Structure 1
């Protein structure tokens, strides 16, 4: 009976993830939960850090791994993750002022206006996101989720290296 409950719970979680990230929901995004150092009003910070087996990836001011989504476009910049998707994959807010950058070429950093009117940071035109289950700096549990979510390098290109077996697959 315990095995059935585990399988059922896993199936429900998988379906919820697929539904949340299907890209078809165009309802306005919920406001992302931001820490004081990465709030929508502060100047955002982007840096690079060695994360897992991915090498140097882009992180926010708190050291949290940032991601790009295959359903988004870079030219023109467009975010397609709204509603429930944005609750699981919070957009990185553009904030106000010039972003603080460490290891990132300023010419690659920009913003995109989301469907709810808020501004989101972009790198090489692609909108940037966090992954809610990443609990701390160095986590990269969102890597490869649904074959559409990827950590991103300082050059703005997605890194498709598979997640290691150390629990970074997002499931």
Structure 2
């Protein structure tokens, strides 16, 4: 039977040895990323130390930043002159002009504009939204993207945190991007 002092000394010795057993080179943290889960990188919005994404329905991985969510839509007015859609985490949701089936944003576009995907759950909306407008489309990779009033919904990788709307009114190589109103329409680009 160990005495309390022996048990404490054993625990301290084990902790000390655990700290000395780190054989990584000094710059190894730079090689593997910061494991505290803080955002790193560029517009791609990857998270260091994050678990790999779950495979999509057909076994392929979804695009970076396009992990499936709970599919719950909400409404925010933070930072805007009118109400607009957000996901359950408070991220602003956008639509791409003339994109009705998700084919307007593929490949490199998905890094900047991750689609709002759902897994095995049906998407839903808060009481401030019209339930009949919430739906999904099947993307080319077999994943289910949330739609509102037929508009496929995307997040913007440069929006860091809730209430950010940097993607509203953006015109890039894929087209014009807009916030979506609770009425299911694009918010006018000048309404900020």
8 Å CA contact 1:43, 1:96 repeated in 2? no
Tell me the TM-score normalised to structure 2 length. 0.61
Query: 2: CA distance between counterparts of 1:115 and 1:154?
Result: 27
Q: Provide runs of 4+ in structure 1 moved above 3 Å.
A: none
**Greater radius of gyration (CA):** 2
Say if 2:159 is the partner of 1:131. Answer: no
Query: 1: CA distance between counterparts of 2:185 and 2:122?
Result: 22
Higher relative contact order, structure no. (Cα contacts within 8 Å, ≥ 6 residues apart): 1
Aligned length in residues: 130
Aligned residue number for residue 97 of structure 2: 70
**Runs of at least 5 residues in structure 2 that lack an aligned partner in the other structure:** 1-59
CA-atom RMSD, angstroms?
Answer: 2.3
Query: 1: CA distance between counterparts of 2:96 and 2:63?
Result: 19
Query: 1: CA distance between counterparts of 2:166 and 2:155?
Result: 10
**Runs of at least 5 residues in structure 1 that lack an aligned partner in the other structure:** 1-27, 165-171
- Greater share of helix: 1
Alpha carbons of structure 1 residues 158 and 100: separation in structure 2 relative to 1, 3 Å:
same
8 Å CA contact 1:67, 1:149 repeated in 2? yes
Aligned residue number for residue 56 of structure 2: none
Aligned residue number for residue 99 of structure 1: 123
Query: 2: CA distance between counterparts of 1:159 and 1:92?
Result: 18
Paired residues for 1:14-25 under 5 Å: none
Say if 2:184 is the partner of 1:160. Answer: no
- State the Cα deviation string for residues 143-167 of structure 1 (Å, max 9, x = none): 1111610000011100014265xxx
Using the TM superposition, give the Cα deviation of residue 30 of structure 1 relative to its aligned residue in structure 2, in angstroms: 4.7
Query: 2: CA distance between counterparts of 1:95 and 1:112?
Result: 12
